[in-house]
């Protein structure tokens, strides 16, 4: 006991003395322990393996509608040194089976706790429960009968054929030690007996049993995780319906995502509908433009954008306003040669003077100015009923048609509001208004 608990003597055996040791000696000691650690690890893993599949007999019966009935007869031996078995997982060909219509029995006792599981719900989870758990060292018989809705699939390259693909259940290697005997049978549709018209995976024994062609494969000592794929190609006429690999099988996996997209679209539609329902009736928006001050309501040029008039009409309105206040003079209406008479003009159309360059109305500057103004006007309409706003301003031109008495000039605002009327060009031609330039065509070419 003293030798075992004496640190110096214990350290000396590993080449360590008085706190100073040999690193190679320590490494050597650790390496000596690794086999024991590995043994412990392998023992723990082996203890997790609970049973052996002594035989697995699987039969697929193909129906005329392209579906299939699957019969599994499985014999299980629970290892003597293992824990009890409380569940089984049977891998189905695809998700199109209903646990509620499946029949599962264990040693003749019917089991009810059956549900889909797995990433795509293509696994059948059979839960035994504590009362029915299989104790160590016992042998049992598991029977599973279920229908799968889609087995006859479109052939990938031949439109005249259908393909039956089937993989019998494989197993979790952490639970199953070995599958000793496997027998797989695929029974084709009744009354189809032309064995020369089919092709299939190698190794099959082909017979005719009753009114069906039966293909059988047998295997021994199969690793539990090994997937043994079986394929049979038959004439498409042998079944009434064939299924599409994506739309009938894979699309199910994306249905949850599709449902999410539909919900988001419905929420978006509801949001827009509610927003429109709660939208304010016409209230004059506020407009703030440099040099024009802050006021309530749109002026005639902004209203022209609300009414959808072309930008050329709005440019003409700015020019008419500047001419009528004697800020500019139009020398040549055809070429739009303009002389600025008052560069310090501070009226509402003063910003438009920046579009007059070198005696001409610059098309690029004018387009940019009008585009910026239009964007600002439309932004101010956010939250208001556009149609009611448009209807309100469409009446303004008509209300300004009263003619002043002799010797009085039509107010500039009235002239500009009259220009918002789509028929104003004709009406001004028929009844000229004092103070309005004779050259104007109500449209400027930009």
pLDDT of residue 232: 97
pTM of the model: 0.52
Q: pLDDT (tens digit, 9 = 90+) per residue, 360-398?
A: 888 899 999 999 999 988 888 887 888 888 888 888 877
Assigned superfamily of 51-243: tricorn interacting facor f3 domain (2.60.40.1730)
Q: pLDDT (tens digit, 9 = 90+) per residue, 80-126?
A: 988 899 999 999 998 889 999 999 999 999 999 999 998 778 899 99
pLDDT of residue 225: 94
* C-alpha distances out from residue 219 to 54, 180, 354, Å: 12, 8, 91
Exposure on the CB side of residue 46, measured as CA atoms within 13 A: 9
**Residue whose C-alpha is closest to residue 200's, from 227, 238, 162:** 162
pLDDT of residue 268: 87
pLDDT of residue 442: 55
pLDDT of residue 444: 59
pLDDT of residue 295: 54
pLDDT of residue 273: 77
Q: Domain ranges for the chain, please list them.
A: 2-48, 51-243, 286-430
Residues of the chain with pLDDT under 50: 1-47, 283, 285-293, 404-407
Alpha-carbon distance of 245 to 328, in angstroms, equals 75
**DSSP result, 97-128:** B-GGG-EEEETTEEE--EEEESTTS-EEEEE-
pLDDT of residue 124: 95
pLDDT of residue 117: 92
Instruction: Name the residue with tokens 């696994």.
Output: 123
């Amino acid at each position: 006991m003293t030798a075992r608990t004496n640190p110096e003597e214990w350290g000396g055996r590993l080449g360590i003395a008085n706190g100073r040791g040999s690193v190679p000696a320590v490494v050597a000691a650790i390496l000596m322990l690794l086999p024991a650690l590995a043994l412990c690890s392998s023992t723990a893993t082996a203890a997790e393996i609970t049973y052996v599949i002594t035989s697995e007999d699987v039969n697929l019966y193909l129906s005329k509608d392209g579906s299939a009935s699957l019969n599994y007869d499985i014999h299980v031996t629970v290892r003597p040194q293992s824990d009890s078995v409380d569940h089984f997982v049977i891998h189905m060909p695809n998700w199109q089976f209903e646990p509620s219509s499946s029949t599962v029995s264990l040693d003749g006792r019917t089991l009810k706790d059956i549900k889909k599981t797995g990433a795509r719900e293509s696994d059948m989870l059979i839960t035994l429960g504590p009362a029915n758990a299989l104790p160590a060292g016992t042998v049992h018989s598991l029977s599973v009968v279920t229908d799968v809705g889609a087995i006859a699939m479109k052939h990938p390259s031949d439109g005249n054929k259908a393909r039956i693909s089937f993989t019998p259940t494989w197993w979790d290697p952490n639970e199953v030690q070995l599958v000793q005997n496997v027998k797989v049978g695929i029974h084709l549709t009744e009354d189809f007996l032309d064995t020369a018209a089919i092709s299939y995976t190698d190794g099959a024994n082909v017979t005719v049993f009753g009114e069906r062609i039966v293909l059988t494969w047998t295997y021994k000592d199969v690793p539990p995780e090994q997937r043994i794929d079986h394929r049979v190609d038959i004439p498409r006429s042998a079944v009434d319906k064939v299924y599409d690999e994506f739309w009938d099988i894979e699309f199910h996996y994306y249905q949850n995502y599709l449902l999410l997209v539909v919900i988001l679209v419905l929420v978006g539609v509801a949001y827009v509908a509610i927003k429109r329902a709660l939208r304010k009736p016409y209230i004059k928006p506020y407009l703030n433009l440099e040099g024009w001050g802050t006021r309530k309501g749109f002026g005639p040029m902004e209203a022209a954008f609300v009414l959808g008039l072309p930008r050329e009409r709005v440019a003409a309105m700015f020019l008419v306003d500047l001419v009528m206040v004697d800020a500019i003079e139009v020398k040549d209406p055809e070429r739009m040669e303009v002389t600025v008479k008052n560069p310090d003009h501070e009226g509402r159309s003063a910003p438009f003077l920046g579009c007059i360059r070198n005696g001409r109305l610059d098309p690029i500057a004018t387009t940019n100015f009008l585009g910026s103004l239009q964007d600002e006007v439309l932004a101010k309409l956010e939250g208001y009923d556009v149609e009611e706003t448009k209807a309100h301003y469409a009446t303004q031109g008509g209300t300004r048609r009263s003619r002043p008495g002799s010797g009085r000039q039509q107010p500039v605002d009235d002239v500009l509001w009259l220009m918002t009327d789509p028929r104003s060009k004709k009406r001004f031609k028929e009844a000229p208004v004092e103070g309005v330039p004779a050259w104007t065509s109500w449209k400027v070419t930009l």
